[in-house]
Structure 1
């Protein structure tokens, strides 16, 4: 295949993707937007952050936000992979974007992580990670499946537990890292 053929075939695939995205937007606009599942998604996205801003330890805001931002980015990336390879998909979304469920990626998961990081600070990070993994894998995900937001097509709940555990340990390391050295001033 030469360069021209490759560009043409790639363009055809992107055209097909655009058509699928337009069909998804139409479905979202007529059957999700301003419906009960849209309002729940909006509430989940807003209420998570309001709760965290209300209960956060002000002195730890920056380090907790570093850990929360890590969780946002990694969950978005992992969601992209999972949806792209057909392991799951979402319905009842706040926005008509594919593939992520933004209230989970940008609100619920990072906020729960930050709340758990600040809760019982002397508790073992491994116990907290295990609680985080088990809760998300066997309570959070089944609840989202039951509500119809999350549809697993090639994934099992127990696959998620070690992933959530590991992600929590990384977020814990980020939140507990020593402060950075100041940048040297230029002379």
Structure 2
């Protein structure tokens, strides 16, 4: 697996947390979008698995775990996130539409996807950092109590 080859194992906990949050939120938002009629998936390979389930649990999380790892500074994270969100919104999404794997409603525009992905990357990063800071704080408290 390519991800395992390039992941910084010293940051594995925080990267896994970031990726899992991406998975959970992607799946949740995908279900909400379907329920609200913002998009649909005309071609279902398996009735029990949403068609973009693989993208929600692999492509988005792995992409953003790499960005989180390799672009830690604010400016580089911004550029990488904007670039990848643009790629997903204006290239990958239209390809899925052309293969009839994804059909947005008349109300959903590509730039909405860009905005959602862009802000999600920052929200998930903020949550991940807050969680990591809490873990670090708890470990320090634990070490102090042991002394």
> Partner residue of 1:17?
none
Pairing 1:102–2:102 present: no
| Cα contact 2:88–2:114 (8 A) shared by 1 | yes
Quote the residue 2:11 is aligned against: 60
Report the equivalent of 2:34: 83
Deviation at 1:120, TM superposition (A): 3.5
Deviation at 1:67, TM superposition (A): 0.7
Structure 1 residue 97: deviation in Å? 2.5
Please report how far the alpha carbon of residue 60 of structure 1 lies from its aligned counterpart in structure 2 after TM superposition: 1.3
Partner of residue 128 from structure 1, selected from 69, 80, 85: 80
Aligned 8 A contact 2:23 2:61 in 1 = yes
TM score, norm. by length of structure 1: 0.63
Q: Which residue, out of 134, 140, 164, partners 2:92?
A: 140
Give me the whole-angstrom Cα distance separating, in 2, the residues matched to 1:70 and 1:77: 11
What is the Cα-based RMSD across aligned positions, in Å? Answer: 2.4
> For the structure 1 residues 174 and 147, does the alpha-carbon distance in structure 2 shift closer, same or farther, using more than 3 Å as the test?
same
Q: Which has the higher contact order (CA 8 A, sep 6+)?
A: 2
Superimposed CA distance per residue, residues 46-98 of structure 1 (whole angstroms, 9 cap, x where no aligned partner): xxxx2212221111111111111111111111111111121111245454226
Contact 2:44 2:50 in 1 (8 A): no
Q: 1:93 to 1:67 in 2, by over 3 A?
A: farther
For residue 128 of structure 1, report the CA deviation from its aligned partner: 2.7
* Preserved contact between residue 66 and residue 174 of structure 1 (Cα < 8 Å): no
Look up the match of 1:51: 2
Of 116, 119, 140, which aligns to 2:67? Answer: 116
* Separation in 1, partners of 2:65, 2:113: 19
Question: Rg: which structure is higher?
Answer: 1
